[in-house]
Structure formats: C-alpha cells, structure tokens
Structure 1
C-alpha cells in the first residue's frame, strides 16, 4: 500500500516599516530584512528607480524576492501563495492589497529571482498624510507568504543534513554550526544531557544557524532598517531560551542591535568633549589675560605705596613736618 503524502502549509506574515520615506531617492533600491517560511528566506524590494520610470508619472512598485541560495533551491512539488499590502495607518479598511498569487510554482522564477507580486499605485495617491498611507513620513508594507508541501523537505537530501546525531538541519546552516559548536562544546552537550526530542533540537539549532547566518551575511548598514533589527531581536530571544551559555555570542548580538544607538551616543559625547575643550581654551586665554592684569595692578599698587605712611585717624595732619 502506497504511503499517503502529508502536505504542510507554512504561513508567514511579515511587516516592513519604512521610515523617512521621503528620503528614498530614485537612484537606489531598498530592501526589507529577511524573513522565513520554513527553510525558505524572503525579502521585500522597493525599486525606487522603477517607480520613477513610468511614462504616466511616478508609481510605488513593490516586489517579493527569494533571498536564499538558488544553487540548492528545492523546487520539486513546491508551490506558494503571495500577497502584499500597503497599510492604511488611519483606516485599515482602506489598506491596499495586491491580487493574491496562488499556487505559484517556485521553479518558475519570473524575473531575476523575484515573483511579480506588486503593489502598484500612483505616488500622488499616498503622499498626503491625511490619506493614511504615509504617516510621520513612514509607510508600512506587509507580505503574506505561504509555501506548500514543506513536510516533504525532510526527505530531500539536498536541503537537510544530519547534525551530530541530534536532528536534521538545513544545509545552509550546517557549516556555521559545525564551526561554532566545535569552539563551544556546551552547545551540543546541553542538548545531549537534557535528552530533548529531535524536533526540539531541530528548532534550537535551526534558530542558532539562522542567527549566525544573519550576523555573517548582514552589513552594518542593514541594521538601519527596523525590520532587520526586529528579526535579529526575535532570533536572539529564541536562541537565548534554548541554550545555556551564550556569553560568547551575546556581545556580538548586542553590538549589532545597539550599533547606531551607541554611535549616536558617541557622536553626542564627542561633540560635548569638543565644546568643553573649546571652553577650556577660552578659559585659559582668559586666565592669561587676568594674570597679566594682576601683574600690572600689583606694580601700580607698589608704586602707589611708595612714600605713603599709614597714620591714626586722630593724628595731626602736619605732625611729620620738621
């Protein structure tokens, strides 16, 4: 009897908040942080150049991209549903949602590894804050992605590998995990001692792999995006509760999360130091001038004291006349 296939649908709803939208220029591309459906990674792309190229005016054009490695991309029997929304922050019922793409075959990439799932709207329709799409110079885009048949991935040797006899892990993360687990043996030991289930181990090491991959693949500039910060914070919180000793990793995560905050603090303090140094220079110059005045005044005092005799107030004025 043929074993029945179990189909799995993984759904993810990802929110991308774009601050300082008015500063997005027509000579650059803008991308959200990476998000996942099962083992698949995605990101939203706003092509500012594309939005300025239409004959009938400027349009907002947003696409969904696959952000993973296409070399090992498992496309057999995989289909997905995509939907994008431009959120109305004042009246949710006026949120603009793209036509949902259903049962899109992932092996049929449509253009440069992205699928045509557009929000396509004239910019004049969203720039007025009263309309609710651009509030405090911030717009919000939501991606909803669901991938079918993820339950079959466990049988795909190209995607998963056995990891330390604990579980199966996505091949993208195995090398990173091998490297760091060899340096920090407690990562493996704590899970062996607790005798956790294979499913728990898979979730733990997948989360750690995603976190290590994030730190390795992201640039400092990527952390200017709130979506990337939220993704890293989420991964860190998940990893933190699954492993005992992460003192070796915590400083790197905290550094990434607080880099721009710390940079701003340092810049402010540097400005304070510069101001104080100028004040010190000014005070030193003032002190030099005061010292010069002091010396001059001392000389005048000495000259004034020459021949002056202090007398009692009751003395006769001419008592010194010979």
Structure 2
C-alpha cells in the first residue's frame, strides 16, 4: 500500500513469517525468512543468538510475535524500543527480545504451538520523490529501477528478448515490473559477483535460493539461467554433503581407534590369563567328582 502526500511517498508492507519445525532448526546459527519487498528493496528477518551492537535506528518498524491462543497476548515491539540494522544480506537484525526464552518454549503460553511460531513484520518507509527518483532510470518503458542492475539486465534482455516481451504482453503495473526486473537484476548481480568459495555460506545459498524462486514466479522462461543457478546451489549441497561425510569419517576413525585399543587390552589380558592357567595346571590331578573327600582316611 502506498500513500502519497505532497513529495512524500509512504510505503507500507506487512509480512508474515511462519516457522515450522522450530526444534529441528534450533541448532542452526541463523534462520532467515523468505525475502519480501519494501518498495524496490528486498528484506528478510533473521533469528540469531548473537547481535552486533553497532546498529542504527530504523524508523517506522514493528515486529510481532503472535500468540496463537489469544491475539490480545501477542507481543509487539516497535522502532521506539527495537534497535535494528541490516546485515550483509539485507536481513533485519534486532537487539531486543520479545519475551523470556522459557516463556516462549512453553507451549501453554501460546507462542510456540505444535513446534510452530509466527512472526509478523510491518515496515513503513517514507521516500522523498526527488531523491528516490534520482537513483532510478527508465527500463524498456516498463518501469523505473535502480541504475546498478540496468547494465546486466540490458545485456540479458538483448540476448533473450522474451524477458521484456512477456511483461509487455501481460500489461502488468509498473510496480510489478519493478519488482520483477529488480529481482532478476539482483540474481544476475549475485551470480556475477559471488565466487565459488562464497557458496559455502548458508546465508549466500539462502539468498540465491530466494532470488531464484522469486524470479521463477515472475518470468515465464528462465531456462537459459537455470543451469548457472542450479550449478551454484548444487555446489553448496555437495559441499555440505562432503563436510558431513568428512565428519562421519573422523567419528568412525576415532571409534575404530578406541576399539583397537580395547582389542589390544583384551589380547594382553588373554595372554596373562593363559599363563596363569598353565601354572595352575602344573601338578594338578583330576579326580572323579563323585569320589568321597575322606576316602581312605575316614573308615
């Protein structure tokens, strides 16, 4: 929703993040929401056990932890008591917490129910038209968008004209076109600037996956780009698999060493026992177990 007042445009976005299987995700260092847009800018929420105090104050921002039993008990924090900043992947980082962790984990309190919790983000941005428009350029007569992505998009659209033609045929709004080509521009920029080593990061993989899923929804045919995206994502998946297998090998090697040490100790004990047995058998004469103990002595 946008409200225009003289030279000020107020953009309001409400985003709901439903986190399922919370306990399975609790061991992950950071958990990211899907990407949502405020104006042309992509945002994500991140849950992390750590917070960097070098933050900035963000106006007109609100987060709510939904109470699934009683909406009146929903916990909400606003920009007045919530210091936030954006991390390297445009995720919202906050220094305040909604409530005590024990309260949150107790399902009877209604915040974590059936291993699911719900967070709602509301962002209100005031953009001055003059300063905002100065950062935008017209793109193919479809929309205005950030200059940073235009060159990459121009190159791709010259090779694949259907990118532009399909949007013209749809006759969608400029805002839809803005978000579509901004998403594609960010995707192309990601693939151009990131290196193979960057794909070892969970955050980078999540960002690429979100951009790709969003782009697939907005464009009819991205078959020309799909192999590059899949290659980057598959490297991450393989890297994770290799990492887990290496950890398993180390674990099994440690167990094997432990078992070998036990075998050595058992073998040494066996040798000692055999020697003791041989010594005990010297001069030992076996007797019939039915013989009387006093035979020949007691009449």
- Tell me the TM-score normalised to structure 1 length: 0.51
Quote the Cα distance in structure 1 between the aligned partners of 2:56 and 2:23: 21
Task: Encode CA deviations 1:29-59: one digit per residue, 9 max, x unaligned.
Answer: 4333332210223222323145xxxxxxxxx
Quote the Cα distance in structure 2 between the aligned partners of 1:110 and 1:92: 25
| 1:81 paired to 2:78 | no
Change (3 A) 1:169 1:247: same
Question: SS at the partner of 2:121?
Answer: strand
| 1:141 paired to 2:143 | no
Q: Note if contact 1:84-1:118 (Cα within 8 Å) is conserved in structure 2.
A: no
Change (3 A) 1:131 1:191: closer
Deviation at 1:124, TM superposition (A): 1.2
| 1:236 paired to 2:216 | yes
Report the counterpart of residue 78 of structure 2 in structure 1.
99
Quote the Cα distance in structure 1 between the aligned partners of 2:165 and 2:7: 33
Q: Note if contact 1:236-1:253 (Cα within 8 Å) is conserved in structure 2.
A: no
What's the RMSD between the two structures over aligned residues?
A: 4.8
1:143-292 equivalences in 2 (<5 Å) = 143-149=121-127, 151-152=129-130, 154-156=132-134, 159-164=135-140, 166-190=142-166, 194=169, 199=174, 201-202=177-178, 204-210=180-186, 212=188, 221=202, 233-240=213-220, 245-249=221-225
Quote the Cα distance in structure 1 between the aligned partners of 2:189 and 2:14: 21
Deviation at 1:17, TM superposition (A): 3.0
Change (3 A) 1:168 1:128: same
Structure 1 segments unaligned to the other structure (5+ residues): 51-63, 67-78, 264-322
Change (3 A) 1:133 1:81: same
Quote the Cα distance in structure 1 between the aligned partners of 2:12 and 2:167: 28
Quote the Cα distance in structure 2 between the aligned partners of 1:118 and 1:13: 20
Report the counterpart of residue 22 of structure 2 in structure 1.
20
Deviation at 1:7, TM superposition (A): 1.9
Change (3 A) 1:147 1:21: farther
Report the counterpart of residue 253 of structure 2 in structure 1.
none
Change (3 A) 1:235 1:184: closer
Quote the Cα distance in structure 2 between the aligned partners of 1:191 and 1:17: 31
Task: Encode CA deviations 1:107-150: one digit per residue, 9 max, x unaligned.
Answer: xx976766757334211111111211112323222211010126
Quote the Cα distance in structure 1 between the aligned partners of 2:75 and 2:103: 11
Change (3 A) 1:191 1:137: closer
Deviation at 1:101, TM superposition (A): 4.0
Quote the Cα distance in structure 2 between the aligned partners of 1:191 and 1:224: 28
Deviation at 1:20, TM superposition (A): 2.6
Q: Note if contact 1:153-1:160 (Cα within 8 Å) is conserved in structure 2.
A: no
Report the counterpart of residue 97 of structure 2 in structure 1.
119
Change (3 A) 1:92 1:120: closer
